[in-house]
Structure 1
Amino acid sequence: MFVLCMTCNTRMGIVSRYSDLLFKAGGNILEINQYNETDSGLFFMRIAFVLTDESKQETLTSELTELATRLEARWTLHDQTQPQRVLLMVSKFDHCLIDLLYRWRIGELKMQPVAIVSNHPRESLGAVDLYGIPFHHLRVTPTTKPQQEARLLDLIQSTGTQLTVLARYMQVLSDEMSTHLQGQCINIHHSFLPGFKGARPYLQAWKRGVKLIGATAHYVTPDLDEGPIIEQDVERINHADTEETLIRKGRDVERRVLARAVRYHLQGRVILNGARTVVFPD
């Protein structure tokens, strides 16, 4: 199965032109999603399809390129039979990492984990089963951050990483690294952004006496905790909760939100729209 995502200025006949092109190439459309943003005049579309004759893929790609040129469209085409290569980053909180690995192991997340990176030694994860995925301890301090990120970038490039996931990796990436990974790096923030950004958001929430806490999965950008949001969810709390119970309750919502965001990305359901996203849920 292939997934085609495209964005262009809205005009009449876009869906017809793409569906006609796919029909002539022997494509069978399985799912189609579209969205017109009236304020900006932008059109977004996702098409999942199969080719009855896969030998026509090269010709199809050429025809899609020609059509995108005429429409001045941005587009991507992904072969969903080829799992994306994913690098997972973690610090001491392992619940998001464990959840992603479980969902990968049972086939829920169609990805190929190529490495696990942590700023802490392997022992910090205890008896967590890493299923033979290479583990890399890349220690970082304020003075060694440039060298550590250079090693990280080398690892991303050498493993052919297509998506980097910060699964409660409690280090801020540099502006240079964030820019390099833009659109290809997902972070889970233990707060319902844009509220309570930065460090210890559960303590911030407790001090404000909020009745809902949440988690936000977003793409990483140089602006800390300001990247385009992919997915969010909340958990109800009350006056009797402490920072410790907020952390406990927050673990569940964090792993759910991150897993959904990663799945949406892997399935080509997320299209960037400036500082925002268009997400076609499954």
Structure 2
Amino acid sequence: MLSDAIVTLSCPDQPGIVATVAAALAQRGGDIRVSQQFGDDQTGQFFMRVHVQVPAALTLADLRAHLEPVADAFGMTWAVTDSAERPAVLLMASREGHCLNDLLYRWSTGWLPVEITAIVSNHETLRPLVERYGVPYHHVPVTPESREQAETRLLELVDSNAVDTVILARYMQIVSERVCSALAGRLINIHHSFLPGFSGAGPYRQAHERGVKLIGATAHYVTVDLDEGPIIEQDTVRVEHSLGPQELAAVGRDVECQVLARAVRWHAERRVFVNGPRTVIFR
């Protein structure tokens, strides 16, 4: 039974969008609880997220059918979802388990509004951790010779588990253009630096060599351009000269966990809109 729905949309900006959407929802007995919108003067795009209460007898299909003429008239990219829906996610990690463990813990407490359906790793290292949470663990080794086969297996798991989003929780393999295309807008990575600084491998070593006073982490959508996808969330922490590369990494792990958790939650709650190389986020 539907009681609350989330309406998300983007389209070329023009007068009357908010009024028309609000009127259409009111026609079906919708009571808007939260409405957030943003018009980007640079791109000419308009973005909107509406949390609306609807009569219990109204189905998602009914609401979508009612809004479809409005969406067509404004040329919208849009979606209507049940606010209680928890999207299925697949987590990927290599040997370091701090981000993976943090997401699993937050999910187990109910803070993270997703369903974790599977874990994929190119190593066996994290299996004991994952099995404590009762989540299926799939060891998919990656070598230069087996990379294409491994990615085929990944995409099979995405399909068989009806996965909405894949999270790279310190998965230390570069994904191919094939995977980026198949999961466009549904593949999130945590990079252990405050991008665009120190992209690529070894960011804590790079940060130490440069003597930075702040280190950070960046959660972003993955594209074919390494570490250059639209940024969802970032944060930093102050450090000092006495910390070596390993100590910087230890400090950075907490920031990585927090940044990735916020990004996954906002994505799951349909708060993130891709706006070219940037994002719009309604917190």
* 1:128 Cα deviation after fit: 5.2
Give the distance between the partners of 1:52 and 1:151, measured in 2 at CA. Answer: 43
Query: Normalising to structure 1: TM-score of the pair?
Result: 0.96
Which of residues 262, 265, 268 is equivalent to 1:266?
268
What pairs up with 1:63-142 in 2 under 5 angstroms? 63-121=66-124, 123-127=125-129, 129-142=131-144
Percent identity between the two aligned chains:
47
Query: What's the Cα RMSD here?
Result: 1.2
Give the distance between the partners of 1:248 and 1:85, measured in 2 at CA. Answer: 30
Q: Which residue type is aligned with residue 161 of structure 1?
A: V
What pairs up with 1:175-214 in 2 under 5 angstroms? 175-214=177-216
Q: Which residue type is aligned with residue 198 of structure 2?
A: F
* 1:262 Cα deviation after fit: 0.2
Which range moves more in the overlay, 78-87 or 234-243?
Answer: 78-87
| Pair 1:185–1:130, CA change in 2 (3 A) | farther
Secondary structure at the counterpart of residue 97 of structure 1: helix
Give the distance between the partners of 2:266 and 2:246, measured in 1 at CA. Answer: 31
1:132-179, CA deviations, whole angstroms, 9 ceiling, x for partnerless residues?
111000000011100000011001001000010011111110111111
Give the distance between the partners of 2:88 and 2:59, measured in 1 at CA. Answer: 25
User: Unaligned 5+ residue runs, structure 2?
Assistant: none
Give the distance between the partners of 1:92 and 1:181, measured in 2 at CA. Answer: 23
Q: Is 1:13 matched with 2:21?
A: no
Match of 1:62 in 2: 65
Give the distance between the partners of 1:119 and 1:162, measured in 2 at CA. Answer: 21
Count of matched residue pairs: 280
Match of 2:160 in 1: 158
Which range moves more in the overlay, 8-17 or 202-211?
Answer: 8-17
| Pair 1:54–1:254, CA change in 2 (3 A) | farther
* 1:56 Cα deviation after fit: 4.4
Which range moves more in the overlay, 215-224 or 5-14?
Answer: 5-14
Give the conservation status (yes or no) of the 8 Å contact 2:97–2:126.
no
Which range moves more in the overlay, 125-134 or 202-211?
Answer: 125-134
* 1:259 Cα deviation after fit: 0.2
Give the distance between the partners of 2:126 and 2:110, measured in 1 at CA. Answer: 27
Match of 1:37 in 2: 40
Give the conservation status (yes or no) of the 8 Å contact 2:127–2:137.
no
Query: Normalising to structure 2: TM-score of the pair?
Result: 0.96
Match of 1:251 in 2: 253
| Pair 1:243–1:126, CA change in 2 (3 A) | farther
Which of residues 264, 277, 280 is equivalent to 1:278?
280
Give the conservation status (yes or no) of the 8 Å contact 1:89–1:166.
yes
Secondary structure at the counterpart of residue 150 of structure 2: helix
1:184-211, CA deviations, whole angstroms, 9 ceiling, x for partnerless residues?
0110000100110100100011111111
| Pair 1:127–1:166, CA change in 2 (3 A) | closer
Give the distance between the partners of 1:116 and 1:141, measured in 2 at CA. Answer: 19
Q: Which residue type is aligned with residue 103 of structure 1?
A: R
Give the distance between the partners of 1:212 and 1:279, measured in 2 at CA. Answer: 24
Match of 1:148 in 2: 150
Give the distance between the partners of 1:130 and 1:174, measured in 2 at CA. Answer: 31
* 1:126 Cα deviation after fit: 4.5
